[in-house]
Amino acid sequence: MSTNLRHAGFRAMGTYCEIQLYEASRISAKRLVRRLIDEVSRLESKYTRYRDDSFLSEINRSAGNQAGIKIDIETQKLFEHARSCYEQSDGLFDITAGVLRRVWDFSRRKIPDESELEGLLPLIGYEKLNWRDDTLLMPANMEIDFGGIVKEYAADTLATLARELGVRRGLINLGGDFAAIGTQPEDRPWPIGITHPEDSTKMMSHFHLSEGGLASSGDYERSFILEGKRYSHLLNPKTGWPCSGLRAVSVAANLCTVAGSFATIAMLKPEQDAIDWLTDSGLPFVFMDGAGQIGGPGLTDSSY
Amino acid sequence: MKKPASRSLIALSTSALALPGIAEADAPPLTSSLSYKISNYQEDDLSREQVPFGELERYDIDVHQFQFVSPLGRDYALFIDANHENMSGASPWFSTAGSNGQPVINMSGASGIYDSRSEVSLGVRYYGARGNIGGAIGYSEENDYRAKYVSMSGSRNFNNDLTTLTVSLSHSDDSIFPSDAERFNRVRHENKQASSVAVSLSQVLNPVASFQTALSLTGQSGYLSDPYKLQDSRPDGKTQIAFSNSLRYFFIKADGALQSDYRYYRDDFGIRSHTLDLSWFQNVTRSFKIVPMLRYYSQSAADFYTNIDDFLKPLSESQSSDYRLSAFGAVSGGLSFVTDFGGWSATLTAERYVANEKYSAFTVAQPSPGLVQFTRLSLGVNYAF
């Protein structure tokens, strides 16, 4: 009954997205897809950094404001998850580290002065955010960026919503962040190819996803090499300098949000620490290290 | 051997599972839906031993239920319900001693009863981040009975939405004006009121099990007797208390869920009852489910129940031969088939109920000759859009 598999491709959250659903009725598949796209649009317009009218921009404009800003439950829970990421990464995954982009410009391959970076470091630190009940008091000039959390959360949200709308089999893909809704017919898992960091036409590995989510993080898209040294776009919030750990990692977990947090944190850790930490989690993963070697327990035909 | 989950996996999963888009938070229904259900309820005929003269046929009721549910914006939902019932048949009028001294029934209405009832209710509910609150008003009418009611309930989630506390309040105000009152010397016009409060707590125990416990208290006052019985005089106040517990457990390997419910009830008419319900929800395919159901019920008799009416007793003293006030036990079994396609779903249910004093868990001093056996068939269709 593979004819019942409906595809819909669209752009959202600055990337290519795809929804695949097994649905017998074409009319209800269209209605479901429209409903799911509405939801991803809602999350995008609420949390994008690129629009002044987003709630995230409003939060960032409140920095330095004595009265603070009232935060709704959904955003509060995103902050709580961000705190959990901050704690589990010993401060490496920090949603306040986005200010470093003010001096790092990866498209112009410019290396900032040490003094410029030092001026920004006091503006970084999740623990500097103050809360009074549901009101956030953010010190002046600080900035929040939910990158590494919101797109993954959106993939899980769409999968949950699809399940509540009666979908039993489907796959959500928001630019490489995947959330599965059940398996394909006959309990076949969803095959997911992981792009090779150095050649987007090749596959580094592939996963078989039956449930839960898969997320990837890598420095292949926005890094540069200058005078023989590689500058990753993933920045260490403690020093302001690029991390020099893994080149790319993909993780599968019960939720895409969890997989994404593991992948992001692993990229920020020193190489061996990252591999040990991922191994300790017991989750399937595959990585490419600084030397271009591919490894990980998810290397061949891993299933989740 | 699977090693235990790492500290990081537990911490990151816990905070991710609390996110509202992932946790199945309180939300209005996602789609509008229209549903219709038709049921046929048919009581078995009585036998000549039970009813020496007159009608043997008992109640037969057809019920049509319509429901429209629609989200209103992101946070509200609207509920409109309409029911219509047509009933015909006869009911026990009075009980006397037969030739062997055993009670026998005399049925009402040689030509039987034909009646219909219509009911509408309208409800609105608000869904917030930590719970929901809503209310409904309703009106029901039949040719000898009118009821108006209002209800309110609110739920609040705690403990990362694993615990839910719900409080419900309701009140109804009914008018009774029996037909042929003059001819049969029945009451002309009476009223009764009922108010009830219920508190329930539900707890998700783990990903496959949840438990719910509830306590409800209801007070009724006014005319609580049956105006169509020759000799029926009940107290003009009644307090009821019910305590229910429900456990739902999903068996992953079997791809099915067991729901078990136990309810204890008592009132100051002297009735105590136990209800035990077991349902098994078996997924057969992704869009087809079979639900067998088994229920046991037993109650003690009301203090003033008699199986042979005493016509010499003054009306100021309570007495009733209504079989629903006698001590008995009942067993019922049912089977439902549930299927869906696109936005459509359909449920077909068959149920058989057998009451007998032999099934009673309580002492039966005076068995009722009028216990019912019934069969109920229903077909429901729902369209979500």
Q: Identify whether residues A194 and A288 lie together within a single domain.
A: yes
- Contact flag B30-A78 (C-beta cutoff 8 Å): no
Query: What angle in degrees, to the nearest 10, is found between the helix axes of A256-268 and A271-281?
Result: 150
Mean model confidence pLDDT for chain B: 91
Residue A165 pLDDT greater than 60, yes or no: yes
Over the range B58-69, which residues count as b (16 or more CB within 10 Å of their CB) and which as e? bbebebebebeb
**CA–CA gap between residue B19 and residue A155 (Å, rounded):** 12
Contact B172, B190 (CB under 8 A): no
Task: Please report residues of B whose CB lies closer than 8 A to that of A78.
Answer: 19
Q: Identify whether residues A236 and A295 lie together within a single domain.
A: yes
Instruction: Decide if B207 touches A, using CB distance below 8 A.
Output: no
More confident: B240 or A226 = B240
**CA–CA gap between residue A21 and residue A6 (Å, rounded):** 5
Q: Identify whether residues A69 and A150 lie together within a single domain.
A: no
Q: Identify whether residues A42 and A80 lie together within a single domain.
A: no
- Reported as half-sphere exposure (CB side, CA atoms, 13 A), residue B205 has a value of 11
Contact A276, A225 (CB under 8 A): no
Residue A262 pLDDT greater than 60, yes or no: yes
More confident: B158 or B304 = B304
Domain region containing A67: 59-137
Q: Identify whether residues A200 and A303 lie together within a single domain.
A: yes
Domain count for chain B: 1
Measured torsion, CA atoms of residues A252, A253, A258, A262, in degrees rounded to the nearest 10: -50
Residue A216 pLDDT greater than 50, yes or no: yes
Q: Give residue A167's identity as a one-letter amino acid code.
A: V
Model pLDDT for residues B297-351, shown as the tens digit of each residue: 999 999 999 999 988 888 889 999 999 999 999 999 999 999 988 778 999 999 9
Q: Identify whether residues A155 and A39 lie together within a single domain.
A: yes
Query: Which residue among B7, B9, B30 places its CB closest to the CB of A283?
Result: B9
More confident: A221 or A254 = A254
- Chain mean position to CA A244: 19
What is the reported pLDDT for A63?
93
Q: Identify whether residues A193 and A272 lie together within a single domain.
A: yes
What is the reported pLDDT for B2?
47
Best of B2, B3, B9, B160 to mutate (most A CBs within 10 Å, chain A): B9
Phi, psi of B261 (to 5 degrees): -130, 140
Q: Identify whether residues A124 and A268 lie together within a single domain.
A: no
Instruction: Decide if B199 touches A, using CB distance below 8 A.
Output: no
Mean model confidence pLDDT for chain A: 89
- Contact flag B9-A258 (C-beta cutoff 8 Å): yes
**B186 domain residue, yes or no:** yes
Question: CA separation (Å) from B74 to A131, A159, B126?
Answer: 27, 19, 9
Query: Which residue among A157, A169, A265 places its CB closest to the CB of B22?
Result: A157
Q: Which of residues 89-148 of A touch B (CB under 8 A)?
A: none
Q: How many CB pairs below 8 A link A and B? A: 107
Model pLDDT for residues A92-104, shown as the tens digit of each residue: 999 999 888 888 8
Model pLDDT for residues A43-98, shown as the tens digit of each residue: 999 999 999 999 999 999 999 999 999 999 899 999 999 999 999 999 999 999 98
Instruction: Decide if B21 touches A, using CB distance below 8 A.
Output: yes
Instruction: Decide if B285 touches A, using CB distance below 8 A.
Output: no
Instruction: Decide if B160 touches A, using CB distance below 8 A.
Output: no
Q: Give residue A267's identity as a one-letter amino acid code.
A: M
**B2 domain residue, yes or no:** no
Residue A269 pLDDT greater than 70, yes or no: yes
What is the reported pLDDT for A2?
47
**B164 domain residue, yes or no:** yes
Report the candidate in B370, B377, B375 with the shortest Cα–Cα distance to residue B56: B370
More confident: A114 or A9 = A9
Instruction: Decide if B74 touches A, using CB distance below 8 A.
Output: no
What is the reported pLDDT for A1?
44
What is the reported pLDDT for A223?
66
Query: CATH number of the domain that B262 lies in?
Result: 2.40.160.40
Give the nearest chain B residue to A280 (CA atoms). Answer: B6
Task: Give the ranges where A182-270 is alpha helix by DSSP (H).
Answer: 256-268
pTM of the model: 0.72
Rg of chain B in Å (alpha carbons): 24
Query: CATH number of the domain that A174 lies in?
Result: 3.10.520.10
**Mean pLDDT, residues B241-265:** 94
What is the reported pLDDT for B24?
62
Task: Work out the percent of chain B whose per-residue pLDDT is above 70.
Answer: 97
Q: Identify whether residues A87 and A196 lie together within a single domain.
A: no
Measured torsion, CA atoms of residues A87, A91, A96, A99, in degrees rounded to the nearest 10: -170
Task: Please report residues of B whose CB lies closer than 8 A to that of A262.
Answer: 8-9, 12
Give the nearest chain A residue to B343 (CA atoms). Answer: A28
**A165 domain residue, yes or no:** yes
- Contact flag A23-B18 (C-beta cutoff 8 Å): no
**B1 domain residue, yes or no:** no
Domain count for chain A: 3
Instruction: Decide if A277 touches B, using CB distance below 8 A.
Output: yes
Instruction: Decide if B270 touches A, using CB distance below 8 A.
Output: no
Q: Identify whether residues A106 and A72 lie together within a single domain.
A: yes
The ipTM value here is 0.90
Among A80-89, A288-297, B200-209, B309-318, top mean pLDDT goes to: A80-89
Best of A78, A167, A251, A257 to mutate (most B CBs within 10 Å, chain B): A257
Q: Identify whether residues A237 and A115 lie together within a single domain.
A: no
What is the reported pLDDT for B1?
40
**CA angle, residues B198, B202, B203, in degrees to nearest 5:** 160
Q: Identify whether residues A199 and A161 lie together within a single domain.
A: no
Residue B177 pLDDT greater than 50, yes or no: yes
Residue A252 pLDDT greater than 50, yes or no: yes
Query: Please, which residues have CB within 8 angstroms of residue B344's CB and are 6 or more apart in sequence?
Result: B381, B382, B383, B384
**A2 domain residue, yes or no:** yes
Instruction: Decide if A73 touches B, using CB distance below 8 A.
Output: yes
What is the reported pLDDT for A300?
52
**A54 domain residue, yes or no:** no
Instruction: Decide if A47 touches B, using CB distance below 8 A.
Output: no
**Mean pLDDT, residues A253-258:** 95
Model pLDDT for residues B23-74, shown as the tens digit of each residue: 766 677 878 999 999 999 999 988 888 888 777 888 899 999 999 999 998 7
What is the reported pLDDT for B206?
84
Contact B36, B44 (CB under 8 A): no
Q: Give residue B94's identity as a one-letter amino acid code.
A: F
DSSP string, A61-84: HTTT-TT-EE--HHHHHHHHHHHH
Report the candidate in B223, B194, B235, B217 with the shortest Cα–Cα distance to residue B325: B235
Model pLDDT for residues A170-214, shown as the tens digit of each residue: 999 999 999 999 999 888 999 998 888 777 788 888 889 988 999
**A219 domain residue, yes or no:** yes
Best of A88, A256, A275, A283 to mutate (most B CBs within 10 Å, chain B): A88
Instruction: Decide if B110 touches A, using CB distance below 8 A.
Output: no
Domain region containing B14: 7-384
Contact B361, B47 (CB under 8 A): no
